[in-house]
Structure 1
Amino acid sequence: MAKEVLLPKLSSTMDQGHVTQWFKNVGDPVKVGDVVFEVMTDKIAIEVEAYDSGFLIGRYVEVGEVVPVNTVIAHIGKADETVEKPSKNQTKQVVVSQPVEPTVVESPRVSTDSQRMLPEDGFGVRATPAARKAARERGITIEEVYANTHGLVRVQLKDVEGYRTPMKKAYVETGVEKIIPWTGIRKLIADQMSKSHATVPSVTINAEVNVDMLLKLRAEVLEKVEKEAGIRLSITHLLAYFVTKALRKHPTMNARALDDGIHVLPSINLGIAVAMENGLIVPNVKNAQSYSLVELAKAIKTQTEKPKKNTLLPDDLSGGTFTITSLGTTAVIDFNPIINVPEICILGVGRIVDRVEFDSNNALVKVKKLTLSLSFDHRAVDGYPAALFLSDLVYLIEHPLTLLVE
């Protein structure tokens, strides 16, 4: 009997997805463990393996077509077996009514070696080696061919061979127009940012913080921590540690705004924004409040390296309660970060700058300053509590030794 292949639910927030690539065509043999298709979740792209062996005898979803989770998208069965094509977006639900024995529901089999972000060539266009070679021989770019393929996931040799150079215009163009399609990670980011901007009444408040003591503390422990723990302590690590301490004092800032209300969470799942070539990814550290400074630094390093190593799992991107995003390596001093919904707060970190101000003796001194920009969901947080949280965070950064007497 033919087995149904469903679009799997790969994260707690995923309610739909789309196939970005089929690795098996109708009629191809399939073995347990073979990668059948790649699906884009609401977080990342993941290759999904087969549960059953046989032949792919039906395929009902086109590349790029968005369907609900648990939709029947294919069948695996005997080579000569026929199956009835399911109705459009037909989904399967498991209904358990007074079971005699516990029912075991398996999670979708996911290739552990291939959990990754969508691979990209150039401006997000993927192509076979033969297609690239043919394009070079014809003096055209893969991007030009892609623009005429109506959003194919991978440019094939036949696409290059069938491409016709547009008629020359009466004027001379300098350079080639690049088209970055709204697909993959770029589309997910666009949807998330649009949703946040359209639905969340966000307010941003800024505070300058003197980081002289913070920099001194880092300098004093840097070599020792690196030698003994194998981790190079960064400003982000220190700020993240202070954020967890401030959130413990202001627990209502560590929350998610959902349809049924504001969920104030006991665990701090701290997100750290990571800039990639194809977009911004926010993996989070679960239960960050339970870590020491060095442990938290190690956990952040592990999580922020995953996008670069293509080893992210859906769980790494889900369940966040507070996000830190830093532009400290750029010329930006302050900015208005967009909230990573359904979280209710995000902290933006600018670059460290030199300032001249009066000290307690009324003498001019040079100090190092950093601007923190806190964006918050005004539906869930009022301005005064947000300002108190930011003020306490500033105090901790300027007086880091106070944590020794907690």
Structure 2
Amino acid sequence: MRKTVVIAEVACFAVAAILGCIYSDRLNRERELKEHIEAVGAQTLSIARELQGKVQRFSSELDSRLSSGEEYFASATNKMAGLRQRWGKSTDEKVRQILAEAESGLAEEEQKLVAAREAKARVMSVLDSLSADLAEIEGMTIADEATLRMVSQRVVGCSDSFNAVRRSPDISVIVRGSIRMRADFIVMEASHRIWREPHIIRDPAPQTAVDHLLDERENYIASETIESVMVLHVLKTLQWEKFKGRLLEGERTVTKDKYKALLRDAIFRIDLMESVHKLLVANVKGFAFRKSKLKGCEVLSSDESGMRLFSTDKKREECITWQVFYARYHANLNELVVGLIEKARATGKTADGASFDDESWACAMLGAALSFVHIGGDDPTAHGRAEQLAKAAVIQ
């Protein structure tokens, strides 16, 4: 009898121990799940805050661009009024034709500006809605899996909407109606043509006035050409020859050395960025990323179209175009610059396989700095990083 009781007690203790283990395991799993939800939730909210910053910066940029367009047009309208006051009563057919062409050109530019205002109103409506959604998301507390899933879906939706806005035709309308407005140039060109027509101006105009008009015209051509390439982020398409050709055409158009020098400097900067891009294409094979989005990926091959990677986490190959890499993988771009250029002064190579010397290393550093600013997306840290690289190249 005693033996039976002992066995029963032992069995009870065993069952209790097993139940305790099961309960403990369940608590551990629940704790791990809670920690996972908190970690992923914090990361998701961080992404929402980062996206909110991008939305706000983009809104400010649109405001700035349209304000620039308004200023361009106001300046052109005032100059056109002066031109009409000076030449409006002329009976010369050539003068009347030049003024009519300028008026027609201004009317077209005004239509662009009106279209830009309307496009901006549509875009800002979407951006304001996005900003409000993201502000609401940022204030949420993520305590369970259902909330995490819901918040993640909303953040992804906001990100998709933001990218769609940036690619929308309305953005092109805003750009055409603002930063690249030709209104000022149209009036300057009309004035220049009138001053230069020998059968219109019987008494030669003071040479200083003619020189001033020519200087204004060439300053506009050089500034507009450089701005259309270096400011509007078109370099992200990596169409190097196309944009160098545009700058070369501008250089052939102007006559003054100071404006030719500005355009040649812009071409040189593109050459530096192109050489760094070619360096990365040539030397990235075998590079193993250890940080950020591409952590655990090794580059199997690379060409002008992009990189072929093997992900040790996903156990599969994937391809990334260079345009996408520059736009979305800022931290990994920095990894490449550090590993293949900045920290590789003694061992690194140029695109043609030659070892770095002081000059080629400095050029690569400057090219990398420019790439962070003009090609590397809208990362808020890009300008600071570019400044570090440029200083290191100069101080070397």
Shared fold (TM-score, shorter chain, > 0.5): no
Higher relative contact order (CA 8 A, sep 6+): 1
Q: Which has the larger radius of gyration?
A: 2
Write 1 or 2 for the structure with the bigger share of strand: 1
Write 1 or 2 for the structure with the bigger share of helix: 2
Which category describes the TM-score, using the shorter chain as reference length?
under 0.3
